[in-house]
Amino acid sequence: MEVENYPNYLIYPDGRLWSISRMRYLKTHATKGGVGYMLCHNKEGKNFLVIDLLKTYYPKNPLPDSHHLKSFLKHPNEDNPP
C-alpha cells in the first residue's frame, strides 16, 4: 500500500518498505521509540516507526513485537536472512 504523502514508497503487512525509486526494500534503523524508516520526498526526510506505519495502513492485522521486527527487517533484500 502506498504511503500517504510519500508516493515512492510501498508498505507491506509484514513491515517491509519498498522504495520504488531504488527498486529495493529499505533497511530499518533504530530510532527513538523502536524500529523505523527514514522516508524522503521533495528533499525532505522524516522518520517513521514501523509499528506506526502498520497501525495506519493495516489496522486489522495483528502487530508484531519489536524483537521480531528487528530480526526480520534487518536483511530485507536477502532471500534467507540469518
Query: Going by DSSP bridges, is the β-strand pair 17-19/6-11 parallel, antiparallel, or unpaired?
Result: antiparallel
Q: Does residue 6 sit within a domain?
A: yes
SS3 19: strand
pTM (global) more than 0.75 = yes
Confidence band, pLDDT 50/70/90 cuts, at residue 63: confident
51 occurs within a structural domain: yes
What is the CATH number for 60? 3.90.75.20
Residue 5's pLDDT is what?
93
Domain with 66, as residue range(s), is: 2-73
Give the model confidence (pLDDT) of 42-61 as tens digits: 989 999 998 899 999 999 88
Q: Residue 53 falls within a domain, yes or no?
A: yes
Residue 3 · residue 47 · CB < 8 Å: no
How many Å apart are CA 62 and CA 40, to the nearest integer?
Answer: 27
Helices 66-73, 50-57: axis angle to 10 degrees equals 100
Q: How far is CA 23 from the centre of its chain?
A: 14
CA separation for the pair 8, 78 (Å, rounded): 21
Q: Work out how many domains the chain is built from and give that number.
A: 1
